[in-house]
Each structure stands twice: as structure tokens, then as C-alpha cells.
Amino acid sequence: MNKYLLPVIAIVVGVIIAFITKKQKSIGTKLLLAFSGAFLLALALFDLLPEVYHHLDGKQTGLFIMCGILLQIVLEFFSKGVEHGHEHIQKEGKEFPWVLFISLCIHSFLEGFPIHQHNDMVYGILIHKIPIAALITTFLLQSSYNKTQIIGFLVVFAVMTPLGTYISNNTVLATEHIDIVNAIVIGIFLHIATTILFETSEGHKFNLSKLVVVCLGISIAHFI
């Protein structure tokens, strides 16, 4: 049951953080984002990648991972990189951001599939979703959308990962192709995590703090 509840709890925590930080992107959120990127990347490499290579041909696995990277690049064209902490989004206007919403939901839905076989992945996705949910909530609060639209956005976004997990657990089609989907998701994780880890940081103090939390994230992922 935790594999369904924890991704939803992550969204709730992210929303709370957005309110506590008074709609500002704080240094704590940046560090949590860096930790989540390292933790998620390490889990994908330690647990998910060996399993996929075990069941699929090596070259075929690489092809699907590259497809995942390309898919994430396409999704980020529409989401403007919210998945890894960027907020270059137009906040003007009252028109609901359908393109942003759909791209984030596709990303969130696919994240749920690896949880089918790798329960540890739920913790990586949990940590990843908290800062992302905080940033999305910050964007929504600073926009001119009404409360119904904001709540609807967050609720649907929250249930997409559990929906992906449910489908991977309960449909024959998903079971037969789970390794292919997982390889695609690895590509998505690789792109997001490396973007978070290698983007330019502001100030040497933050660089040192980021290095510490990145090492911590990798270490925790190795020992769980």
C-alpha cells in the first residue's frame, strides 16, 4: 500500500513546503532537489538498470534508454523543465496551462511503473516529488488561476504515479512489456538527475552544500 500512498504524500509535503517558504524558491528547496536527483539516479543505477539489462538484450536496452532521454527532452519542451526545478513559465493570463499539465502528468505516470518490481524506487520517487511539488505549487500560487484549477491540477498530478503503478501491477500488457517501460523510465531519470546535478550553482557555498547532499543521497541509495 505504501507504494501507492507515498507518491501522494510527497505532493502533500511539497504543497506544505511551498506555503511555509512563502511562495519563494528557498536554498533548502534547491538542496532537497539536488539530494533527490542524486538519490533517484543512484537507485536507478544500483537497482533498476541491472534488472533491465538482465531481461533485455544489451543494445536493445540502450536503445530504449535513449528513447526515454529523448522523450523527456520532448516533455520538457512543453513543461519548461519543471521536472528538474526550472520555473521559466509564463504566469500571466488566466488560461489553464494544459500543455504543461499534460506533459507533467505523462512524466508522473511513467514514474509509477518501476515501483512494480522495485519497491526501493518508491523512495526515490518520493524524494524527487517533494521539491517538484513545491515548485509547481509555487508557480500555481503566483499565477492567476482560481482555487478550483489549482486544486484540480495538484490532485490529478498526485494520482498519476499511483495510477502508473496500478497499471504495471494489474495488467497483462504492462507485465509483458515492463522491462521496456522501465528502460524508458531509466532514460527519463538519467536526463532529469544529470540536469539537476550538473547545472550551474550560484555561489561556492551552495556548491559545497550541494556536493555534500549529493554524496549523502548516493550513500543512502547504496545502503537501503
Neighbours of 50 (CB within 10 A): 9
Q: Per the structure block, which three cell numbers stand in for 168?
A: 504495471
Asked if residue 115 has pLDDT above 90, the reply is: no
Query: In angstroms, rounded to a whole number, what is the distance separating the alpha carbons of residues 142 and 112?
Result: 29
Of 121 and 96, more confident: 121
Q: Which pTM does this prediction carry?
A: 0.86
In this structure, are residues 174 and 167 in contact, taking their beta carbons and an 8 Å threshold?
yes
Higher pLDDT, 29 or 110: 110
Q: Is the pLDDT of residue 24 over 80?
A: no
Average pLDDT, the chain: 83
- Residue of higher predicted confidence among 143 and 90: 143
pLDDT tier for residue 17 given thresholds of 50, 70 and 90: confident
Among 41-45, 64-68, 91-95, 107-111, the least confident range: 91-95
For 168-196, what is each residue's pLDDT tens digit? 888 876 666 888 999 999 999 999 888 88
Q: Cα separation of 203 and 124, whole Å?
A: 27
CA Rg value for the chain: 17
Q: How confident is the model at residue 11 (pLDDT cuts 50, 70, 90)?
A: very high
Polymer length of the chain? 224
Q: 125 near 165, Cβ under 8 Å?
A: no
Mean pLDDT of 71-92: 71
Read off the pLDDT of residues 32-77 as tens digits, 9 standing for 90 and up: 888 988 998 998 899 889 989 988 888 889 999 999 999 999 988 8
DSSP structural state of residue 22: T
Do residues 133 and 14 lie in contact, with contact meaning Cβ atoms separated by under 8 Å? yes
Backbone angles phi, psi at 116, to 5 degrees: -55, -45
Our count of domains for the chain comes to 1
Q: Is the pLDDT of residue 117 over 90?
A: no
Q: How confident is the model at residue 13 (pLDDT cuts 50, 70, 90)?
A: very high
Nearest CA to 85 among 14, 3, 22?
14
Residue with cell 482560481: 146
Produce one character per residue of 83-118: b if its CB has 16 or more CB atoms within 10 Å, e if not. bbbeeebeeeeeeebeebbebbbbbbbbbbbbbbbb
DSSP H helical ranges for 83-146: 98-111, 121-142
Phi, psi of 122 (to 5 degrees): -65, -30
- Structural domain containing residue 44: 2-223
